[in-house]
Amino acid sequence: MAVITQFLFYVLKFFLHAVTDMHRYHNNLFRKKEAEVVSCCVLTSPRQGAGSMGDTEKWPEIEKAAAEKRRELVLQGPAVDSRISSHGGLTASVYSLTLLNYLEVSQCPSLTEIHEDIQRLTSLQSLILCRNKLASIPDVIGNLKSLKVLDLSVNNLTVLPEGIGQLKELNTLNVSCNGLEVLPEGLSRCTKLSTINISKNHITALPADFYSERLDLLSSLVASDNSIQQLSGDVSKLSALKVLDLSCNKLSDIPSDLSECPKLKEINFKGNKLNDKRLEKMVNGCQTKSILEYLRGKGRQGEDGGDADVGRNADKRKKQQRKKKGKVTEEQDEVDELNKMVVKVLHVSDTPTALTVKVTAEVKDVRPYLVCCVVRGMNLKSGNALKRFLVAQTKLHDELCDKRTTATIATHDVQLLKGPLVYDVKPPTQLKITPLGRKEMTAVELIRHLHLEAEELRKQKKRQNVTGLHRYLELLRGASVYPCLVDAEGHVISFPPITNSEKTKIRKTTKELFLEVTSSTSLQTCKDVMDALIVKMAELNKFTAEHREEVGSDGERDGPPEPATSGNGSSELVVQQVRTVDQDGNLKVVYPSKTDLAKDTSNLTIIW
């Protein structure tokens, strides 16, 4: 009995020890879990100003980028803007994607600030924050040492952070369409800068250190539509400068030192009231080479000191002598140059057979805005004229139309059109078109092909995501019907914003062009793009007439030069109005109207 009792005692003791150990283990485990929970709460708590949405609702784009370790992320459009508006900004989780080398957040009017946590994305090479309502950019942006492209265009910025000067790898800076009055000091430290666009701001002067020999890679400076009052002669230190646009500013003089820029190919000083009226005429009508030669001559006169007046008097006497002999003066030559830049508008009532476009009610919810016109007198036959026109159209698509996302241009040969035209919608499987350079296919097949091409390009460039190419495809995502322009025979001649038809493709033999601009943004956007296109066509036509090219881009002679003329020796364009009407025949819009072609046309003569 004693043995049994002792045995039971040891069993009970062992059991008590086991229970005690188990209790101690669970206590320790509970404390550990509690610590982990606290730590997790600290790590995932919403950051002030960065938006708290990441804690309550998930962003599928960011989750996907994190899961697939993507290097690129694009957040844009109404759906993203709605989330930003509802939750007070970008989710903090976007700043945890430290592998990103491309980040775009665009077309989100509710986005007014970027959190300082942006500095965590140290791998970023491209940061695109355009078409938002940003009022400020944190100075810590200077910590993005790998950044090469910074696009802050079309926002509400009134000042730029000094930190931009720390971006040693930066080669492209776009801050156009903001409210900037000054640029930050220190841009000269960004020694790899190649392209700068500061147009459409309120800038009154370029910073002193901007005219620096350190910016020896800067090839393009666009500073149009500002209030810049002076261009320093030190601009000659920008040895790589090829394009300089200071149009529509408040310059009263252009320094002769500008002619010392060895690579300068394109300058634009239109819209400035210069003291030298002869020079003002030249910048409104002459080619870059002529203007630089004139500035170079002024520079030599300045170096001669007191002899300058003597030289000018001698020039006056020579001009008077030439007049007596019946010769045309140089100033008259310049006036003739300007007269070549003529656009004549032909009223729709003067041409009863003019094309009209009927717009159906169904396009209202897809792509509602459209303007059209017909242009005659455009010389596409001589030399590389057609190639230059197509390049100019592509440039307008990339810049003014923002990669076709805000508007799209289509051009057609009028002789190949069968009117009247109808702007309508069709289901993707029923919309058939012969795209440029392809066989006939449905819209579904075409978009599939374009997506495959984009994916193939992504693989070739070893990227995680496609950017730039085919961005406009996203505009049709989820749409049950697609917009299209249809001729009288039922053929789809245009499928915006994707392509127009091979059947109406313009060629060197095209004499009349039907121009079409569509947009889902606004009617004024369409008009602005059409204005810019016609101005560019006038400039190209003038260039073709002056140079009288005979050899095409393929090296074959096209025969005698045929500059587009209106009978008086000028490269005049005739723009025929086109009416756009609703299904009942009521007028919606006519282009051009008296209020069109009224901006940035100081170099044109408009005849109504």
Tens digit of each residue's pLDDT (9 = 90 or more) over 355-373:
889 999 999 989 999 999 9
Could you write out the three-class secondary structure of 485-553? EECCCCCEEEECCCEEEHHHCCCCCCCEEEEEEEECCCHHHHHHHHHHHHHHHHHHHHHHHHHCCCECC
The pLDDT of residue 351 is 63
pLDDT at residue 186 is higher than 60: yes
Residue 451's pLDDT is what? 80
> What is the C-alpha to C-alpha distance for residues 163 and 143, in angstroms, rounded to an integer?
8
Instruction: Band the pLDDT of 509: cuts 50, 70, 90.
Output: very high
Q: What's the pLDDT at 6?
A: 60
Show Cβ contacts of residue 384 under 8 Å, excluding neighbours closer than 6 positions: 549, 552, 553
> Model confidence at 597, in pLDDT bands (50, 70, 90)?
confident
DSSP state of 118: G
**Chain segment 414-453, per-residue pLDDT in tens:** 999 888 899 999 999 999 998 888 888 998 898 888 888 8
Q: Hey, what are 581's tokens?
A: 């009407």
Question: What's the one-letter identity of residue 91?
Answer: T
Give the pLDDT confidence score for residue 15 in this predicted structure: 55
Per-residue pLDDT of 48-83, as tens digits, reads 344 443 344 678 889 888 898 888 888 988 889 999
Contacts 24+ apart (CB under 8 A), 480-483: 480/427, 481/362, 481/366, 481/425, 481/426, 481/427, 481/428, 482/366, 482/425, 482/426, 482/427, 482/428, 482/431, 482/443, 483/363, 483/366, 483/367, 483/423, 483/424, 483/425, 483/518
pLDDT, residue 281, reads 87
Which two structure tokens, joined as six digits, stand for 196?
């700068």
Is the pLDDT score of 110 beyond 50? yes
Task: Give the CATH superfamily of 341-546+569-606.
Answer: Phenylalanyl-trna Synthetase, Chain B, domain 3 (3.50.40.10)
- pLDDT for res 152: 94
Please report where in the chains the tokens 């394009």 appear, as a residue. Answer: 243
| DSSP-derived 3-state class of residue 140 | helix
Query: Can you give the pLDDT at residue 585?
Result: 86
Q: What are phi and psi of 578, to 5 degrees?
A: -125, 130
Asked if the domains 70-297 and 341-546+569-606 are classified in one and the same CATH topology, the answer is: no
The distance of Cα 537 from the centroid of its chain, to the nearest Å, equals 19
Question: What is the domain partition of the chain in residue ranges?
Answer: 70-297, 341-546+569-606
- Residue 157, pLDDT > 60, answer yes
Stretch 175-193: mean pLDDT, rounded? 91
**Three-class SS of 198-267:** CCCCCCCCCCHHHCCCCCCCCCEEECCCCCCCCCCHHHHHCCCCCEEECCCCCCCCCCHHHHHCCCCCEE
305 torsion bin: left (phi>0), alpha (psi -120 to 50), beta (else):
left
Residue 179's SS3 state is coil
- For the cut 70, the answer to whether the pLDDT of residue 13 exceeds it is no
- Return the pLDDT at 41: 31
Q: Per-residue confidence at 269, pLDDT binned at 50, 70, 90? A: very high
Q: What's the pLDDT at 212? A: 86
Max mean pLDDT among 392-396, 551-555, 597-601 falls in 392-396
pLDDT band at 40 (very low <50, low <70, confident <90, very high): very low
Give the whole-angstrom CA distance, residue 34 versus residue 317: 98
The domain made up of 70-297 has a fold known as 3.80.10
Length of the chain: 608
Based on DSSP, count helices (H) and strands (E) in the chain, helices before strands. 11, 23
Question: What mean pLDDT comes out for the span 528-543?
Answer: 89
SS3 content of the chain, % helix, strand, coil (to 5): 40, 15, 45
Q: What are the structure tokens assigned to 471, written together?
A: 């961005």
Over range 118-128, report the average pLDDT. 93
Note the pLDDT tens digit of each residue in 241-262.
Answer: 998 999 999 999 999 999 899 8
Q: How confident is the model at residue 209 (pLDDT cuts 50, 70, 90)?
A: confident
- Higher pLDDT: 341 or 280? It is 280
pTM of the complete model = 0.50
549 pLDDT above the threshold of 80: no
- For residue 408, what pLDDT is reported? 93
Question: Is 151 a residue whose pLDDT tops 80?
Answer: yes
| Predicted local confidence at residue 323, as pLDDT | 58
pLDDT surpasses 50 at 265: yes
